[in-house]
A and B are shown apart, each in its own frame.
Chain A
């Protein structure tokens, strides 16, 4: 039964002011969700709350809750937009399970989260009350229906007169209600008001002084209202950061990594959720001489990047699933011509247009095998926002050293997640060295492959004595078109050999937990934090489970077969589709498995199982615990 505290109504008889000192709840972590209609600023509120929490020494993971449309119909289930902010006394690596505190700008947004089972049973909900007595009869009816549906839940709903209070400061409460909410959160979680207001100013640096002033006033108003009316506080202990930290989302980290790596040229075409990398770089890149070329389509984008790289610049492209599909042929060209290229794929749900704003890890096999013909390339996946920064430097270096395509598989979870991490110390050696422009030495060939390694030195245009034509057709070491069997066999072998050589530089991935046991969970990409938290919980319950997380997917890191042999069972956990074992007609032979699972079985001849979901959300550690218990024959997960 939901208890509704009509905190805003002294006449309701339970005014918390009467109860004296607010109750303080000390907890190692708390999950907050702020949800509104699209355009009401819940995301900005959540971002600032997350940043301030990070500054004060909480672990933080912030993730956006995004509708696919810019302005979906207001007050509809599909319009819920906002942030989830998980704060902890220690590091936070994922978005957690269910929300402990929800601030909802309308009851439909709350209902949306309720129906997704995103709210903990004992959660506190701060709900805008203006809709209850709204002039519009249909809105009142919607409110009543929502309250009826929510009555089955056990949340504690506190009604808040957000609109009414905000109108005392601004004419349009839609613009600024988010700052009132930020003020409430600052009181509830004891966030430093001055730091928060500094962040408000920063976030509104493009706006007028008046706008900044009224937003600060709204913040104060929200803080004061909460001070006066709310009978609870939440204490998530903070510990001052012992080293300098930065906070940003995964796409900003990719963009900064591109600057750190000395990239010169980004060619892209707008696609969610990858585009914000180019938003960031469109502003910052020119300051280091970098160009963001918004091409006319996805194909032109990758092809222009290939052209720039061929010409001696360091180039990359950023895309997501549908764009990757369009780039397929050109990626084959880059592999064939051995033109260095970094391809960042911020994965979203598929197939086709799929779930544009939501997370999935479904492009792994497309990255590996998307091209017709044999197209060996290197594929790596950052697991954290910090890795988003550093992996671009790594990818750029590998692409140039091995003259090949390097895929970086990020995803919507990393792209929109915001997390503090230790501030990187950029090094001029990370920046690409300029290509050789001296005359080509006697006898040097454009594909002068070292037979043992498949490696060859690049000759970029401008070098006297090197004029040759590179081609996507089968070619010999002088880049002459040649269809003869021996030449084609050799070209394929040389391009493939580079991967085997590259694998020699890799170490086996570390194991999280014991080196042996009943179950090894294998993951890749953005799920690392959730998987390791789940493994820790299961181990705390005495389960003999460990996990390992792969950074390189092509070539695979070494030592996996031997590692897997030390566990009774091996299971991948991924955000992509797989048939469940109990599904009709599904057999051991025809079962379609998760993408990493598929790859590991094929490559290692180990009977790897999988647990995957395509629910368009980051994985929650609690669900992974259930999957682990099920595989260990304990739980009831299917």
Chain B
């Protein structure tokens, strides 16, 4: 935390070591076998290894299964409304840049009702970690098609199968001006998940991580093959991206991809026979919005002095 507190008075600085258990919030109420459990573990492990200060951290979410996330992490949290995690997180970070902000969304939240915010959050490039927990379905409302539901996959709102080709969140993200960090990982690759989260947290800018997430109740089959057949996975490998020995051993297909190469990132992000995990794009040179908009903090007396000059301008 190099940013000075924007409130003039911050809580006492702490250099104590935070233990993993201290990041544990309420008992998760996700279904047994839900990929969110693994993601929560990965996030907590990353928080511990990065020694994120709990009281200076806010987890923001929308609505859906994944959006219960903040309740299960022992930091500050704001469980908001459907689709609006990103503007909420933007308001928090823009006004208090010294806070460490995470936004947790599902595919309905991010890619459907909140899709407008998704595009603009990428463009603002506010320094935060945005996690898309993508299970390809609406879970909490009981099995409706989402924008990322594979075409033909049946749901309660499309019993004969989803009518449209699935939206590819990676190509969308990489198409937005000012996108500065785009990665993909999977709930069933815990070490890769952890490394990706760590890289996302260390990136100064809007770090977008799509996490492929299994829903054992409504979409158990969708990622089944990818889990069972490691040859379906292709790892993007680069020292400026994510290196994870365990994954590199398990998954035989590797692509050496320099995350600074945006055109190649866009090509690799296209839907193909492979599921690609890794960092597609990283551009640390892009300024963050809260830095661009950063202003000094003024005391009440200083504000009144400015206002007095403003009133002078309107005096008659």
Contact = CB atoms under 8 A, between A and B. Distances in A.
Interface of A: 51, 54-55, 241, 244-248, 252, 256, 259-260, 262, 264-265, 267, 284, 286-291, 293, 295-297, 299-301, 303-313, 315, 329-330, 332-333, 337, 420, 423-424, 426-429, 431, 434-435, 437-439, 461-473, 480-481
Nearest to B9: A437
A-B pairs, top 10 by smallest CB distance, nearest first, are: A307-B91, A469-B77, A304-B91, A431-B300, A428-B300, A300-B87, A308-B95, A296-B120, A471-B79, A303-B87
B116 interface: yes
A466 B58 CA distance: 12
A431 B96 contact: no
Contacts of A463: 11, 55
B120 A333 contact: no
Contacts of A55: 316
A264 B316 contact: no
Given A267-B91, A423-B311, 4 more contacts: A259-B306, A426-B307, A462-B10, A465-B55
B78 interface: yes
A470 B77 contact: yes
Contacts of B91: 265, 267, 293, 303-311, 315
Interface in B287-316: 293, 295-298, 300-304, 306-308, 310-311, 314-316
A303 B80 contact: yes
Nearest to A470: B78
A289 B95 CA distance: 10
B54 interface: yes
A260 B99 contact: no
B256 interface: no
B7 A312 contact: yes
Interface in B63-101: 70-71, 74-81, 84, 86-92, 94-96, 98-99
Interface residues of B, number: 63
Interface of B: 5-12, 14, 25-26, 54-60, 70-71, 74-81, 84, 86-92, 94-96, 98-99, 116-117, 119-120, 293, 295-298, 300-304, 306-308, 310-311, 314-316
A307 B76 contact: no
A431 B80 contact: no
Given A307-B92, A313-B95, A471-B79, A426 B316 contact: no
Given A293-B94, A305-B91, A311-B99, A333 B293 contact: no
A435 B76 contact: no
B296 A289 contact: yes
Nearest to A263: B303
Given A262-B303, A308-B92, A256 B311 contact: yes
B84 A303 contact: yes
B263 to A, nearest CB: 27
A472 B64 CA distance: 13
A194 B99 CA distance: 54
Most chain A Cβ neighbours within 10 Å, of B8, B78, B308: B78
A256 B310 contact: yes
Contacts of B96: 308, 311-313, 461-462
Contact of A289 (B56, B88, B295, B316): B295
Contacts of A54: 316
Contacts of A427: 304
A300 B117 contact: yes
Contacts of B94: 265, 291, 293, 304, 307-308
A309 B99 CA distance: 14
Contacts of B99: 311, 461-462
Contacts of A426: 304, 307-308, 311
Nearest to B96: A311
B306 A307 contact: no
Nearest to B91: A307
Contacts of A469: 25, 59, 70-71, 76-79
B76 A246 contact: no
Contacts of A286: 295
A310 B116 contact: no
A423 B307 CA distance: 12
Contacts of B297: 289
B7 A434 contact: yes
B7 A462 contact: yes
Contacts of B25: 469
Given A439-B12, A467-B55, A291 B87 contact: no
A265 B96 CA distance: 11
A467 B75 contact: yes
Contacts of A299: 84, 87
B58 A291 contact: no
B300 A262 contact: yes
Contact of A51 (B8, B10, B117, B316): B316
B310 A284 contact: yes
Nearest to A471: B79
A90 to B, nearest CB: 16
B280 to A, nearest CB: 24
B123 to A, nearest CB: 9
B90 A435 contact: no
A424 B92 contact: no
B315 A462 contact: no
12 contacts: A259-B306, A260-B304, A284-B310, A286-B295, A287-B306, A297-B116, A300-B116, A301-B87, A310-B78, A420-B316, A464-B12, A469-B78
Contacts of A462: 5, 7, 10-11, 55-56, 96, 98-99
A304 B90 contact: yes
A245 B315 contact: yes
Contacts of B80: 303, 306, 333, 472
Given A307-B91, A427-B304, A437-B7, A472 B81 contact: yes
Contacts of B88: 303-304, 306-307, 310
